[in-house]
Chains A and B, each alone.
Chain A
């Protein structure tokens, strides 16, 4: 009973904001990717970076990554996809996978290759990065929310 009284006393804006936030976070975004194709990327790995550092693909693409190690043994694992490959210098290794999840995924080195190994990171961007858009939307929402109560 006390809860209901407390709930009723909350201004409408505070009841609306969580709802809007949920919408921003969960609502499906319009799909705006191209046609799925086959993509082949030659990624060179040195200590401690990938060249190119950012790979792009459309959702549904069959992506082939050829990992070329240029100094020591390196690996490449993609967060969120769980696929990976290891390459020795002189022996490039290839992996192929279906890019069915969209978003921004970090590629990490999976074989200790020196000091900065834990920070040897690249990015795979499949389609649009929905979390970035949702985050930006949420940021705008909270600016309004933060200003509202005081402004009103």
Chain B
């Protein structure tokens, strides 16, 4: 009889040990914020909203429930944190200003990857103050309709490079060399303006295109292009394709499993190599589309994620699909 009690004790304690191990682990886990990442189709970030206080370190433990994800906060200069399936990575963040911060996934995890975002509400003294001198995006200031179609009435016969020498550019009126000219005019508008200038009336149509490229090139730095190229590869190439032709793996709508979530429309991603379309858009329009996204087209909105400089760098990079730049010239 005594044996039975001993036996019962042994079994019960061993089984309880098993249960206790899990329960204790569960409690300990609940003490810190465990941010679980899943593909957006199966939940995205959980929890979506995180609360924090100015000045207090926010300790996050990150894990993925399915595939490789990554964690970064929009418009903050931080290295993305790997979020690996089945493993836990840790990051500590401290915020010095109150406001709403967007955090997002930086590694493609399916066709709805870009929807994988959440917010960190940082409370503190005072209200959120906008940056001094902050202005609305350029397309808003210029009153441009970024949803209007922008066909190019004129296109070059081949992918143009910059015209040789800077003399012609110097000879033109000063406004052609300003950044605002570059940003607020489409290449077609610039071409039409230049075509009307008497000084360059002896140039052929294609040579005028070369002049347009010179203007565009003068407003581009190789460092910015590098930033733009990296951003494009990481964020845009999956849909728009490495070649810019709108043929990225996510654009393949023939594969049923890659259909976007219900209720969200999508069209084929824009072909940046298509001159008839691209050349009719100004950098401001492109900047607007990237910032605000395309309503109902599946184009994400990157406003909360990229800084203004990053978006301009991306825009600068997009022109390399249309123009052949030789950036050494800028430093002569």
Contact = CB atoms under 8 A, between A and B. Distances in A.
Interface residues of B, number: 28
A70 B85 contact: no
A10 to B, nearest CB: 52
Interface in A71-118: 71-73, 88-92, 111-114
B213 interface: no
Contact of A70 (B66, B86, B237, B252): B252
A112 B109 contact: no
A68 B237 CA distance: 12
B294 interface: no
Nearest to A115: B66
B165 to A, nearest CB: 37
A69 B113 CA distance: 14
Contacts of A89: 108, 238, 248-250
A113 B67 contact: yes
A72 B242 contact: no
B259 to A, nearest CB: 12
A44 B164 CA distance: 42
Interface string A27-51: 0000000000000000010110000
Contacts of A72: 39, 67-68, 108-110
A68 B258 CA distance: 15
B111 A71 contact: yes
Nearest to A44: B249
Report, nearest first, the 8 A-B pairs whose CB atoms are least far apart.
Answer: A90-B238, A90-B237, A70-B249, A89-B108, A112-B85, A73-B68, A89-B238, A72-B67
Interface of B: 39, 64, 66-68, 84-86, 107-111, 233-234, 236-239, 241-242, 248-250, 252, 255, 257-258
